[in-house]
């Protein structure tokens, strides 16, 4: 029973990280209909920047803020420089470009920071809480992870639902041409969408880095699971991404706890296949009738 509770709590914490990764993918898919394969490399890069800030004497908080800020900037730059020029080309062009960007960022990170993984500090203690004499796997740092991701998800929901900026962004995502005809500067909204997405990705990077170590390729497995979570949630539904992330977090936690770590990627792929076979539009299908 303790083991089950442990695995559940652990699943919620990793699920929060998957949710953040899935959110980053979903925000970009929604606004530009591109699966951003560079997302893993982007969040790796911003985490390295945070690591550089911290190892040169900056506080954890400073590193955290720098990671989010550089994610915001990087997302905007990628949209302007890489995605914008192929805006009117077939979507596959942009997808291939993000793959190229992935390779490029991984190579640059290797050149600057080397290829051997380094440790990354956690915000809070990594010693589990002790309840009635037993020590749980759930740590104060896990609490931090879950709370931060909830906070960001709520903030995004408020931005989209309650502000005029969010209304403009949603309109630009759903119907770019109509939005332009209503005076919305769609280009800026798309850039902002990429910036926000990359910032959420950067957040996932600093949150997960303490448990995976930091290297040019160390986030790849998380990105694959994050992608499955996004698909499970329907790929264009932010709440779906959060739920998908939690489901994947719990599923992978149980699988690794009861069956062993080695089966985790396999489990994720099985879930992906099941979703695509049984409910291809995801659990939170937002695909309604688009135009009449």
Q: Is 174 in the site for other proteins (CB under 8 A)?
A: yes
Of 130 and 164, the one with the shorter C-beta distance to other proteins is: 164
Q: Is 33 in the site for other proteins (CB under 8 A)?
A: no
Cα(113)–Cα(125) distance, integer angstroms: 26
Smallest gap from Cβ 23 to other proteins, in A, equals 19
Classify residue 119 as exposed, middle or buried by CB count within 10 Å of its CB (0-12, 13-18, 19+).
exposed
Cα(238)–Cα(35) distance, integer angstroms: 15
Residues 106-165 contacting other proteins, CB under 8 A:
164
* The pairing of beta strand 134-135 with beta strand 130-131: antiparallel
Q: Are the CB atoms for 46 and 74 separated by under 8 Å?
A: yes
3-state SS assignment for residue 221 = helix
- Which one of 57, 88, 177, 277 is in contact with other proteins (CB under 8 A)? 177
Q: Is 235 in the site for other proteins (CB under 8 A)?
A: no
Please give the backbone phi and psi of residue 168, each rounded to the nearest 5 degrees, phi first: -60, -40
Cα(20)–Cα(4) distance, integer angstroms: 24
Q: Is 277 in the site for other proteins (CB under 8 A)?
A: no
Smallest gap from Cβ 171 to other proteins, in A, equals 5
Cα(109)–Cα(209) distance, integer angstroms: 15
Smallest gap from Cβ 177 to other proteins, in A, equals 7
Q: Is 181 in the site for other proteins (CB under 8 A)?
A: yes
Smallest gap from Cβ 239 to other proteins, in A, equals 14
Smallest gap from Cβ 164 to other proteins, in A, equals 6
- Which one of 52, 69, 73, 167 is in contact with other proteins (CB under 8 A)? 167
Of 112 and 158, the one with the shorter C-beta distance to other proteins is: 158
Q: Is 288 in the site for other proteins (CB under 8 A)?
A: yes
Q: Is 178 in the site for other proteins (CB under 8 A)?
A: yes
Smallest gap from Cβ 240 to other proteins, in A, equals 15
With the C-alpha atoms ordered 249, 97, 285, 265, is the resulting torsion angle positive or negative?
A: negative
How far separated are the first and last CA of the chain, in Å rounded? 54
Tokens of 91: 């979507």
Cα(175)–Cα(173) distance, integer angstroms: 6
Smallest gap from Cβ 288 to other proteins, in A, equals 6
Please give the backbone phi and psi of residue 35, each rounded to the nearest 5 degrees, phi first: -85, 115
Q: Is 182 in the site for other proteins (CB under 8 A)?
A: yes
For residue 261, give the DSSP letter. Answer: G
Q: Is 180 in the site for other proteins (CB under 8 A)?
A: yes
> Around 257, how many Cα atoms within 13 Å sit in the side-chain half-sphere?
18
Site string for other proteins, 184-203 (x = CB under 8 A): xxx-----------------
Q: Is 175 in the site for other proteins (CB under 8 A)?
A: yes
For other proteins, which stretch binds (CB under 8 A), given 45-53, 62-70, 176-184, 265-273?
A: 176-184
The residues binding other proteins (CB under 8 A) are: 164, 167-168, 170-171, 174-175, 177-186, 286, 288-292
């Amino acid at each position: 029973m303790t083991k089950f509770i442990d695995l559940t709590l652990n699943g919620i914490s990793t699920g929060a990280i998957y949710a953040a990764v899935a959110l980053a993918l979903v925000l970009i898919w929604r606004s530009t209909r591109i699966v951003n394969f560079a997302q893993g490399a982007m969040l790796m890069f911003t985490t390295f920047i945070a690591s550089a800030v911290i190892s040169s004497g900056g506080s954890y908080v400073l590193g955290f803020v720098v990671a989010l800020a550089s994610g915001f900037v990087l997302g905007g730059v990628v949209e302007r420089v890489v995605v914008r020029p192929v805006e009117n080309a077939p979507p596959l062009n942009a997808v291939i470009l993000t793959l190229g960007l992935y390779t490029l960022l991984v190579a640059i990170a290797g050149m600057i920071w080397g290829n051997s993984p380094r440790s990354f500090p956690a915000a809070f203690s990594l010693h589990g809480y002790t309840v009635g004499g037993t020590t749980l796997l759930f740590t104060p740092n896990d609490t931090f992870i879950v709370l931060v991701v909830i906070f960001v998800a709520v903030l995004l929901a408020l931005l989209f639902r309650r502000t005029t900026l969010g209304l403009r962004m949603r309109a630009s995502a759903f119907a770019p041409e109509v939005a332009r005809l209503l005076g919305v500067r769609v280009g800026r909204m798309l850039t902002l969408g990429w910036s926000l997405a990359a910032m959420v990705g950067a957040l996932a990077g600093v949150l997960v880095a303490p448990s995976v170590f930091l290297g040019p390729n160390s986030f790849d497995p998380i990105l694959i699971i994050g992608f499955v979570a996004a698909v499970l949630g329907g790929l264009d539904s932010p709440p779906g991404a959060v739920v998908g992330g939690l489901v994947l977090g719990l599923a992978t936690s149980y699988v690794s706890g009861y069956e062993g770590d080695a089966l985790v990627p396999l489990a994720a792929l099985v879930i992906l296949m099941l979703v695509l076979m049984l409910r291809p539009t995801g659990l939170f299908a937002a695909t309604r009738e688009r135009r009449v």
